[in-house]
Amino acid sequence: MSERGADSRGPAGIQISRFMSPDDANIAGNVHGGTILKMIEEAGAIISTRHCNSQPGEPCVAALARVERTDFLSPMCIGEVATVSAEITYTSRRSVEVQVNVLSENILTGAKKVTNRATLWYVPLSLKNVDKVLEVPPVQYMRKEQEEEGKKRYEQQKLERLETKQRNGDMIFPVINPDPYTVGYSQSSLIHLVGPSDCTLLGFVHGGVTMKLMDEVAGIVAARHCKTNIVTASVDAINFHEKIKKGCVITISGRMTFTSNKSMEIEVFVDADPFVDEPQERYRAVSAFFTYVSLSKEGKPLPVPQLVTETEDEKKRFEEGKGRYLQTKAKRQVHLQPLAQQ
């Protein structure tokens, strides 16, 4: 890990570099989106925890609360070096915004490309009491506009987190003898016992570990539907509603909600069953939407088989997914318009 110099009025940024091995990739040699998400979260956790402990006071660890929409701009492959750069861009009274960029490098040719950009939000939790959220040391901004823009982003993500939590009552149930291309045919679940290696110093799961498992389940759903090589194209906002403690059994469930001609949207839930120390009812811990694309052996985009919806709920989720897809497409066109005029 290396650090770069920062303005004296703000915290130093950090960089983490790692060689991508076969363990990090799928059978086609593309690095799993979950592997990259885990590296992004590790960088964010380091810089936010360091900042939150930069002034005298109660020691704490920064816990991931939310990841904004993340686009996978370019595939990363086995043998490349991934470099993750992170810096703090805004602080509220009890949260930290971290901006992260991911760069891949072909060490044989020296060619580099940006593969990901992400925004993460962390909250500082006391080492003495995991349920106590501490205050965040403020950062100094180069311009007043930076603070105002950061505050707008903070209020927006706060509102979206609340909306997501309100619609989190859905469950995914097994379907007997489902037909191909239906929701029930590709839906998948993974059960994982949370051990010490999954957890922070406070004994709750690293956000990166959870995201990696979610991406794995979403990838299985996409592969079952297409039966081709698939890669993560983007992840909508990931909301961490409740902490997951060591000893919990977590169920990561995924189902397809929408298909366009060349992409698939997959909804993923993480439900936690606490068994050790404090038995309680199962609760929804995390939720997100992943988007995947289907690729040929040559890495070219392939058409996606259209999802067959059978129930009213499935049709409703399909229309909601279509709305998100069109909204994202419109935002991308607005972003590209100024570039085309240059």
Determine, yes or no, domain membership for 341.
no
Q: Which of 110, 134, 163 lies at the terminal end of a domain, its last residue? A: 163
Q: Answer yes or no: do 117 and 245 share one domain.
A: no
CA dihedral 145, 151, 155, 157 (to 10 degrees): 90
User: Looking at the domain assignment, is residue 87 inside a domain?
Assistant: yes
In our burial notation (b when 16+ CB lie closer than 10 A, e otherwise), range 58-75 reads eebbbbbbbbbbbbbeeb
Q: Is the pLDDT of residue 333 over 90?
A: no
Active site residue 313: no
pTM, 2 dp: 0.87
Please state, in angstroms and rounded to a whole number, the distance separating the CA atoms of residues 58 and 56: 7
**Do residues 200 and 284 share a domain?**
yes
Q: Give yes or no: residues 198 and 129 share one domain.
A: no
Q: What is the pLDDT of residue 214?
A: 97
Q: What is the pLDDT of residue 166?
A: 54
Q: Would the pLDDT of 339 be above 50?
A: no
Count of domains forming the chain? 2
Distance of CA 263 to the CA centre of its chain: 18
Residues 150 and 193 placed together within one structural domain of the fold? no
| Shared domain check, 157 and 22 | yes
| pLDDT reading at 17 higher than 60 | yes
Residues 6+ positions from 43 with CB-CB distance below 8 Å: 14, 15, 16, 84, 85, 86, 98, 100
The residue whose two tokens read 């492959």 is: 77
Mean confidence (pLDDT) of the chain: 89
Confidence label for 277 from pLDDT (cuts 50, 70 and 90): low
User: 262-285 burial by CB neighbour count: b if 16+ within 10 A, else e?
Assistant: ebbbbbbbbbbbbeeeeeeeeebb
What average pLDDT does this structure show over 147-163?
88
Q: Which of 113, 135, 163 is the last residue of a domain?
A: 163
Q: Please answer whether residues 76 and 104 qualify as being in contact, where contact means their C-beta atoms are separated by less than 8 angstroms.
A: yes
What confidence category does residue 9 fall into, taking pLDDT thresholds of 50, 70 and 90? very low
pLDDT at 117: 93
Per annotation, catalytic residue among 198, 215, 236, 271: 215
Instruction: Give the Cα separation of 338 and 301 in Å (integer).
Output: 26
> Does 282 score more than 50 pLDDT?
yes
Q: Flag whether 294 is in a domain.
A: yes
At residue 5, the pLDDT reads 36
Report CA torsion sign: 189, 194, 197, 200.
positive
Domain that residue 39 falls in: 14-163
> Is residue 191 in a domain?
yes
pLDDT at 229 over 60: yes
pLDDT at residue 187 is higher than 60: yes
Q: Do 257 and 142 lie in a common domain?
A: no
Q: Is residue 3 part of a domain?
A: no
Within a domain: 103: yes
Domain assignment present for residue 168? The answer is no
Whole-angstrom Cα distance, residue 105 to residue 80? 5
With cut-offs at 50, 70 and 90, classify the pLDDT of residue 334. Answer: low
Lowest mean pLDDT among 92-106, 269-283, 295-309: 269-283
CA 340 to chain centre: 30
Q: Is residue 240 over pLDDT 80?
A: yes
* pLDDT reading at 2 higher than 50: no
Q: What is the mean pLDDT of residues 48-70?
A: 94
The percentage of residues in the chain with a pLDDT greater than 70, rounded to a whole number, is 91
Mean pLDDT, residues 7-13 taken together: 55
* CA–CA dist 183, 307 (Å, integer): 7
215 catalytic? Reply is: yes
Bridge partners of residue 193, in order along the sequence: 249
Tokens representing 200? 């922070």
Tell whether 251 and 202 lie within a shared domain: yes
Same domain, 198 and 117: no
Choice among 26, 71, 168, 273 that is catalytic: 26
* 214 and 143 inside one domain: no
Strands (E), 20-111: 60-67, 70-72, 80-91, 96-106
Residue scoring higher pLDDT (274 or 46): 46
Exposed (0-12), middle (13-18) or buried (19+): which is 89, by Cβ within 10 Å? middle
Say whether both 133 and 201 belong to one domain: no
Cβ(302)–Cβ(226) below 8 Å: yes
Handedness of CA 140, 141, 143, 148 (dihedral sign): negative
Is residue 139 located within the same domain as residue 189?
no
Strands (E), 69-138: 70-72, 80-91, 96-106, 112-126
Q: Is residue 177 part of a domain?
A: no
Domain stop point among 110, 133, 163: 163
For residue 93, the domain's CATH number is 3.10.129.10
pLDDT of residue 197: 94
Domain shared by 26 and 154, yes or no: yes
pLDDT digits (tens, 9 = 90+) for 190-222: 999 999 999 988 889 999 999 999 999 999 999
What average pLDDT does this structure show over 254-262? 96
| Mean pLDDT of the region 24-32 | 92
φ, ψ for residue 95, nearest 5 deg: -150, 160
pLDDT for res 286: 94
